[in-house]
Amino acid sequence: MKINVKTGDELNRLLDNLQQEIVYANIYYRLYWDLNDALRSHPEEFAQSNTFWVLTFDALQDAWLIRLCRVFDTQCNNNLNLVNLLETIKENLHFFNEQNFRERLKDNAFVNSLAECDRVPDQAQLDKDIEFAKADPLVEKLRIWRNNIVAHKGSKFVLGKAPQLSEDPLECIPLL
């Protein structure tokens, strides 16, 4: 569902916010795996403060999973997620014509070079991206995880009656 925006500044705020979620998800993910690699090569150092590192690994996994879930969450029609942002862009292509693009990025030191090429998103590509964000199997798996483990504790999961949830959430990584 598209988000109603009236100005290019409002669109920029949506773009910046979702971009930040994606970037932070990736940062937390990379930090998680960098520490995992360090754990393999320095097990004695990690063992000296095991509780700290267990909590740190759990927190980092939660951080990247929660942020990734936000990007693809379609639970509520009016929240900021990738589908809603893409539909908003699709309905507001005029914000990408050269004049409006320059106005939206007037404080960017690189606005002139950025405005040199066509900035209007391709409708067909937007449709493909919307379909991906709605129906890709990894996105669907992430939503199942979100609804049963990340945002809520599903009773079927807790009771061991949800086999699709026994798989590792780290399989969602290609989404990053």
Q: Which of 153, 154, 131, 151 is nearest to 68 (CA)?
A: 151
| Domain ranges (residues) in the chain | 8-137
Give residue 120's region: left, alpha or beta (phi > 0; psi -120 to 50): beta
pLDDT per residue over 100-145, tens digit each? Answer: 898 999 999 999 999 888 889 999 999 999 999 999 988 988 888 8
Burial environment of residue 95 by CB neighbours within 10 A (0 to 12, 13 to 18, 19 or more): buried
Q: Are 106 and 136 in contact (CB under 8 A)?
A: no
pTM of the model: 0.84
Q: Which of the given ranges, 57-61, 75-79, 112-116, has the highest pLDDT on average?
A: 57-61
Q: Which of 35, 22, 96, 94 is nearest to 64 (CA)?
A: 22
Please tell me the predicted confidence (pLDDT) of residue 147. Answer: 85
Please tell me the predicted confidence (pLDDT) of residue 40. Answer: 93
Answer whether residue 149 shows pLDDT above 90: no
Eight-state DSSP code of residue 76: S
Distance CA 151, CA 148 (A): 7
Cβ neighbours around 63 below 10 Å, total: 17
% of the chain residues with pLDDT over 90: 66
